[in-house]
Amino acid sequence: MYSHEDLGRLQGQSLRMQGWIRRQTFSPDDKKTLRRFSSWEVSELIFRINQSTFRGKLAADPNLPLGEVEEDGRQRWFSLDEINELRRRIRVNRKSLLPPRPEGKRAIRAAIANFKGGAGKSTVALHFAHAAALDGYRVLAVDFDPQATLSHSMGLSDVGEDHTVWGIMARDLERETDRMNAASEGAESGTALPRRKLPPSIRDLGLGPLRPADFIKPTAWSTIDIIPSCANAAFVEFASAQYRHLNPEWTFFAAVSRFLDSLPDDAYDLILFDCPPAIGYQSMNAVFAADVLYIPSGPGYWEYDSTTSFIGQLAEALGDLSDGFENFPTGKIALPKRFADIRFLMTRYEPSNELHQAMLSAFRQVFGDRMAEHPIELTRAVEQSGRFLSSIYEIDYREMTRGTWRRARATFDRAYEEFRGNLLAAWETLEDEV
């Protein structure tokens, strides 16, 4: 017979192994660091200019960052900060290398969601975040998944549940209840619950006074921040049900959206959500806050079946919110919830596999232009990046054959380029949506 104590013991053993894996994967001080990028990568893969043009720009202005030179003098290697400084200062054919961003708009929010486990949500979120950072965008990643794969891949493991999405939701409950109390005190008849209805177990957490910055953590990428998750945040589903009982008028699904509303519009360019494999309080917060919904799916029939179920249950859940909370405040995003764009993305695709070809054709037939044109292909380098908690962008191409690395990077580059194009089109409509 096995009890919770046995489960705790097994977790302890697993945590010790997790620590060993992190030491093998990251730097000796157990902290993830970001590698430098070669002048070949910077010119041809990041800036998309000829190497000779790039070398000419560096030679013409000795005040530009020059990176670090290899011992044989053949290649320069640049940090991400140096790359962004070059991006700000170099012009090619009188054109800026800065990425496009609609003027006067807040950051656009994209949720990577599907309740099928193994659909590639965290892999897609990680690679899109890194690709966007190399593209010059400032990114905030929000990990809604208690499995915390995205957080671990970003180098964060020692995370307390108070500083996850659960903490944001508990903080929002306290603040929204106080706001309702204050509103009812100023009216002859109010419907807000009295302050005492929130028990000390919530008030004593001390989350109410926390600033947004207290939940946001830096990563090894200087232009990517993250609101991390952890295994202990799994109880958010149970806690949220209790919170709704304490204050039935609390619009629980808008907690994260209100949190993001409080950030300066120009603090980030892209806010990217990695959702849990379930429809619950956390995932509903993610999809409600999102402007764009990306739904990844593997190439099998069961994944197609699960994706079909997911969009049906999500439609029903969003419909219930629209009917039950239409007269309650929800921040900048109003009910009924509308997305600026919805896309389906096939992952783990093998072009030579006839079943995969047939399933991609079926997805395209059903979802039409909502289906992303470029699937994420399954390659050996992509599998390796997952094992080492890194994206293909973080792996040094010298660790494998350059052709293998290029094929893996190319599949994510194509998917990201399409993702960026969809975001830019949706970005222009934000004023009509908020």
CA distance 341 to 428: 11
DSSP bridge partners of 170: none
Pick from 54-58, 112-116, 263-267: least confident: 112-116
Check whether residue 72 and residue 211 sit in a common domain: no
Task: Please state, in angstroms and as integers, the Cα–Cα distance from residue 308 to each residue in 235, 324, 364, 419, following that order.
Answer: 27, 25, 13, 22
Pick from 181-185, 216-220, 259-263, 413-417: least confident: 181-185
Instruction: Give the domain range for residue 369.
Output: 108-183+196-429
Check whether residue 232 and residue 308 sit in a common domain: yes
Check whether residue 77 and residue 207 sit in a common domain: no
Is 16 inside a domain boundary?
Answer: no
Torsion of CA 230, 235, 241, 242, to 10 degrees: -110
Q: Which residue has the higher pLDDT, 21 or 418?
A: 418
Check whether residue 172 and residue 151 sit in a common domain: yes
Is 378 inside a domain boundary?
Answer: yes
Is 49 inside a domain boundary?
Answer: yes
pLDDT at position 200 = 82
Is 408 inside a domain boundary?
Answer: yes
The average pLDDT across 132-147 equals: 96
Please choose, from the candidates 111, 121, 139, 116, the residue with its C-alpha nearest in 3D space to the C-alpha of residue 253: 111
Is 14 inside a domain boundary?
Answer: no
Give me the CATH number covering residue 342. 3.40.50.300
Question: Among 51, 67, 96, where does a domain finish?
Answer: 96
Domain count, the chain: 2
Question: What's the start-to-end Cα distance of the chain, in Å?
Answer: 55
Pick from 1-10, 67-76, 271-280: least confident: 1-10
Is 13 inside a domain boundary?
Answer: no
Question: Among 69, 96, 123, where does a domain finish?
Answer: 96
Check whether residue 112 and residue 89 sit in a common domain: no
pLDDT at position 318 = 92
Check whether residue 51 and residue 119 sit in a common domain: no
Check whether residue 71 and residue 129 sit in a common domain: no
Q: Model's pTM, two decimal places? A: 0.90
Check whether residue 80 and residue 153 sit in a common domain: no
Question: Among 67, 96, 125, where does a domain finish?
Answer: 96
Is 299 inside a domain boundary?
Answer: yes
When pLDDT is cut at 50, 70 and 90, the band that residue 193 belongs to is very low
Check whether residue 54 and residue 160 sit in a common domain: no
Give whichever of 37-51, 235-249, 370-384, 386-400 has the largest mean pLDDT.
Answer: 37-51
Task: Please state, in angstroms and as integers, the Cα–Cα distance from residue 210 to each residue in 214, 285, 331, 347, following that order.
Answer: 6, 19, 19, 38
Is 3 inside a domain boundary?
Answer: no
Please, what sign has the CA dihedral across residues 134, 135, 141, 146?
Answer: negative
The average pLDDT across 24-50 equals: 84
The average pLDDT across 301-325 equals: 89
User: 351 CB contacts (<8 Å, ≥6 apart)?
Assistant: 357, 377
The average pLDDT across 291-309 equals: 93
Check whether residue 89 and residue 206 sit in a common domain: no
Please, what sign has the CA dihedral across residues 30, 31, 34, 35?
Answer: negative
Check whether residue 115 and residue 234 sit in a common domain: yes
Check whether residue 92 and residue 118 sit in a common domain: no
User: 328 CB contacts (<8 Å, ≥6 apart)?
Assistant: 249, 251
CA distance 420 to 423: 5
